[in-house]
Amino acid sequence: MMFNLILFGPPGSGKGTQSENLISRYGLKHLSTGDLLRSEIARQTPLGLEAKNFMDKGQLVPDEVVIGMISSALDQNPQSKGFLFDGFPRTSAQAEALDKLLELKHTSISVMLALDVSEEELVKRLLKRGETSGRSDDTNEQVIRARITEYHNKTAAVADYYRKFDKVRMVKGEGTIDDIFNSLCQEIDKRMVHQIS
C-alpha cells in the first residue's frame, strides 16, 4: 500500500527543505512541480519556455501544464512506496485531477501536512533565499508579493478541499528546521503505523 503525502504551505514556508529530509527518512519519491518546471526551463523545452512567462511574474502556470507533468511523473515511477507532493496541487482543479490520477493507480492521498508561517517571516525568508538561490523570482519583492497573493487567491482553497475529507493537519512552520521536521514526522508516523496494521 502506498503512502502519499502533500506538503502544503505558502511560498517560503520550508516545503523544499523539509521535503528533502522527509524523502530520505521515508523513502518516498519527491515530486516538486517547481523543481520540474525549473528543469524544463534549464533544458529550454517548449513547456519550460511557456512556464517561464508565468513564473517570472509570480503567477501560477496553467493547470493543464502542471497536471500533465505530474501525470507523467506518476507513470514513470510505478514501483514507488509513495509520493511526496511539494508545491502541488496549487489550485482546486489540480487537487481534483490529482485525486483522479491516484484513483487510477488504486491509491489516494494519505494526509496533507500544512506548514503555518506568518507573512512577515515568509517575505524575509524569500528575500534571503534570493541572495543565494539564483532564482529570479526570489530577488524582487513585488514578485514575492504576487506569489503570496496567488497563494491566498487560488491555493489556500486546496486545503479546504482536503479538509472535507479530514485529511489536513496544520504544523507550526516557525522554529528550528529540526523541530519542524520532528513535528512532521510525528504526524506521518501516526498514520503510517495505522496504515500498516
Q: Which residues bind ligand ADP (CB under 6 A)?
A: 11-12, 33-34, 37, 54-55, 58-61, 66, 87-88, 90, 94, 137, 147
Whole-number minimum distance, CB 86 to ligand ADP, in Å?
A: 7
Cα(54)–Cα(101) distance, rounded to whole angstroms? 25
- The nearest distance, CB 64 to ligand ADP, in angstroms, is 10
Annotated active-site residue in 135, 145, 154, 167: 135
User: Does the annotation count 100 as an active-site position?
Assistant: no
Known catalytic residue: 15? yes
Q: Which residue is nearest to ligand ADP (CB)?
A: 34
CA distances from residue 131 to 17, 124, 128, 139, 140 in whole angstroms, order as listed: 17, 11, 5, 7, 11
Q: How far is the CB of 33 from ligand ADP (least distance, A)?
A: 3
The residue from 38, 52, 90, 169 that is catalytic is 90
Nearer to ligand ADP, 6 or 111 (CB): 6
Contact 19, 125 (CB under 8 A): no
Nearer to ligand ADP, 28 or 144 (CB): 144
Q: Residue 90 catalytic?
A: yes
DSSP-based three-state secondary structure for 197: coil
- Beta carbon of residue 47, minimum distance to ligand ADP (angstroms, whole number): 12
Whether 25 is catalytic is no
E strands, the chain, where?
Answer: 5-8, 29-32, 83-86, 111-116, 168-172
Nearer to ligand ADP, 88 or 181 (CB): 88
Query: Which are the contacts of 186, defined by CB distance < 8 A and separation ≥ 6?
Result: none
Q: What sign results for the dihedral spanned by CA atoms 176, 195, 34, 171?
A: negative
Q: What is the CA radius of gyration of the chain?
A: 16
User: In the annotation, is 147 catalytic?
Assistant: yes
Toward ligand ADP, which CB reaches closer, 86 or 192? 86
Catalytic annotation, residues: 15, 90, 129, 135, 147
